[in-house]
């Protein structure tokens, strides 16, 4: 089944739900950055979270960036997303691969670390972007985002994220869900939802056998579940050769001339998607004429 992101409400609008299957999205990101298994899980969870949180933005012009660095060997993860659930991102050390934790799962917490923080940046086209911060409480990413929402934005939330990596280093399944109690929601609802999430088990285990629709029905079937919108999340970077050319021009004529005189090819890689752009001496000469 192809990737799907679903926005929904339950209990007459008291509960907001955004759930997504992101297997293809995560596979694309992991492939582009050539990630080892633990790095795949860390980057995949962040990409999934970014896609879901981006879909919560109110305007097409809004941009969301999530940065998480706990001082661990992953060397930080950054993702940027948009209201249509597009997302791009990278991990500082795509080669990080730790032994499984005591539960036999990929040690994302160990890779992320806990000596740092989570930063959420919302650029809504105003003079200054909104910047929210919270400490890292577990390094598992889902727990940390739930803590951020509950403490920094006073919106009680449950966040579940998962990436299952196969023996061939392929992404078997990936997905996530954010559940939020909206203002004036019945306090008992949060407890009921948490119990059901525990019964659900791991998101990847569930999605490996069933669909995202089955997951929503399992959690909210008797709560008046109402699907509001369905969109396709995807890993998609907005870099281009034209943008890289503008960046090169901006470094100044003296530096460009130095690169030109060396006569070597200049390779520039996009952090977010690992796409390479090659500029030879002739290309640099053309850019010099544009200054």
On the question of pLDDT at 6 being above 90, the answer is yes
Per-residue pLDDT tens digits for 106-119 = 999 999 999 999 99
Q: Which among 176, 174, 108, 95 is positioned nearest to 140, based on CA atoms?
A: 108
**Domain end: 235, 250, 270, which one?**
235
Indicate the pLDDT class of residue 291, thresholds 50, 70 and 90: low
Can you give the CATH number for the domain in which 191 is found?
A: 3.55.30.10
pTM of this structure: 0.93
Per-residue pLDDT tens digits for 87-101 = 999 999 999 999 987
Is residue 21 within 8 Å of 56, Cβ to Cβ? no
As a whole number, mean pLDDT of residues 175-187 equals 92
Percent of the chain scored above 90 by pLDDT? 75
Is residue 49 within 8 Å of 161, Cβ to Cβ? yes
What token pair was written down for 176?
């996530």
User: How many other C-beta atoms can be found within 10 angstroms of the C-beta atom of residue 255?
Assistant: 11
All residues at 6 or more sequence positions from 225 whose CB lies less than 8 Å from its CB, including other chains:
8, 9, 10, 216, 217
pLDDT of residue 248: 86
Domain that holds residue 261: 241-289
Helix (H, G, I), strand (E, B) or coil at 37: helix
If one compares 260 and 219, the residue with the highest pLDDT of the two is: 219
| pLDDT, averaged across the chain | 93
Both 245 and 231 in a single domain? no
The strand pairing partners of 224, in sequence order, are: none
Both 122 and 263 in a single domain? no
All residues at 6 or more sequence positions from 159 whose CB lies less than 8 Å from its CB, including other chains:
49, 142, 143, 145, 146, 149, 176, 177, 178, 179
Both 229 and 282 in a single domain? no
**Domain end: 198, 215, 235, which one?**
235
Q: Write down the H helix ranges in 64-186.
A: 108-112, 142-147
Give the number of residues written for the chain.
291
Both 105 and 248 in a single domain? no
Indicate the pLDDT class of residue 1, thresholds 50, 70 and 90: low
All residues at 6 or more sequence positions from 220 whose CB lies less than 8 Å from its CB, including other chains:
8, 10, 15, 17
Instruction: Please give the Cα distance from 289 to 291 (Å, whole number).
Output: 6
Both 268 and 182 in a single domain? no
Indicate the pLDDT class of residue 104, thresholds 50, 70 and 90: confident
What token pair was written down for 28?
């694309």
Domain total for the chain?
A: 2
Q: Where are the beta strands (DSSP E) in 192-236?
A: 226-231, 234-235
The strand pairing partners of 163, in sequence order, are: 174
As a whole number, mean pLDDT of residues 50-61 equals 94
Indicate the pLDDT class of residue 200, thresholds 50, 70 and 90: very high
Both 216 and 253 in a single domain? no
Distances (CA, A) of 99 to 30, 36, 86, 104, 276: 19, 12, 32, 9, 32
Helix (H, G, I), strand (E, B) or coil at 133: strand
On the question of pLDDT at 103 being above 80, the answer is no
Both 207 and 254 in a single domain? no
Both 125 and 221 in a single domain? yes
Kindly report which listed range (3-7, 89-93, 281-285) carries the lowest average pLDDT score.
281-285
Can you give the CATH number for the domain in which 248 is found?
A: 3.90.1280.10
Both 167 and 245 in a single domain? no
**Domain end: 191, 213, 235, which one?**
235
On the question of pLDDT at 288 being above 90, the answer is no
As a whole number, mean pLDDT of residues 169-188 equals 92
Pairing of strands 86-91, 234-235: parallel
What token pair was written down for 16?
């907001």
Both 254 and 222 in a single domain? no
């Amino acid at each position: 089944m192809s990737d799907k992101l679903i926005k929904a409400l339950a209990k007459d609008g008291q509960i907001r739900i955004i759930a997504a299957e992101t297997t293809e999205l995560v596979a694309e990101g992991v492939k582009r950055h050539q990630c080892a298994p633990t790095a795949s899980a860390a980057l995949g969870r962040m990409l999934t979270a970014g896609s879901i949180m981006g879909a919560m933005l109110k305007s097409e012009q809004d941009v969301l960036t999530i940065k998480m660095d706990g001082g661990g060997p992953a060397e930080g993860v950054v993702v940027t997303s948009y209201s249509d659930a597009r997302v791009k991102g990278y991990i500082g050390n795509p080669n990080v691969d730790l032994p499984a934790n005591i539960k036999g799962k990929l040690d994302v917490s160990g890779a992320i670390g806990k000596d740092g923080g989570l930063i959420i940046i919302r650029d809504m086209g105003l003079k200054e972007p909104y910047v929210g911060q919270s400490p890292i409480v577990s390094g598992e990413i889902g727990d940390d985002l739930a803590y951020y929402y509950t403490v920094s934005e006073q919106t009680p939330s449950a966040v579940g994220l998962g990436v299952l990596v196969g023996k061939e280093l392929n992404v078997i399944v990936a997905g996530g869900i954010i559940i939020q109690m909206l203002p004036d929601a019945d306090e008992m609802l949060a407890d009921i939802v948490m119990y059901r999430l525990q019964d659900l088990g791991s998101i990847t285990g569930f999605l490996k056998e069933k669909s995202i629709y089955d997951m929503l029905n399992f959690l909210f079937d008797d709560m008046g579940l109402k699907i509001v919108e369905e969109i396709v999340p995807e890993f998609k970077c907005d870099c281009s050769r034209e943008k890289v050319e503008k960046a090169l021009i901006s470094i100044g004529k003296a530096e460009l001339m130095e690169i030109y005189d060396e006569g070597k090819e200049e390779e520039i890689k996009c952090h977010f998607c690992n796409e390479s752009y090659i500029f030879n001496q002739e290309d640099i000469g053309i850019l010099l004429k544009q200054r």
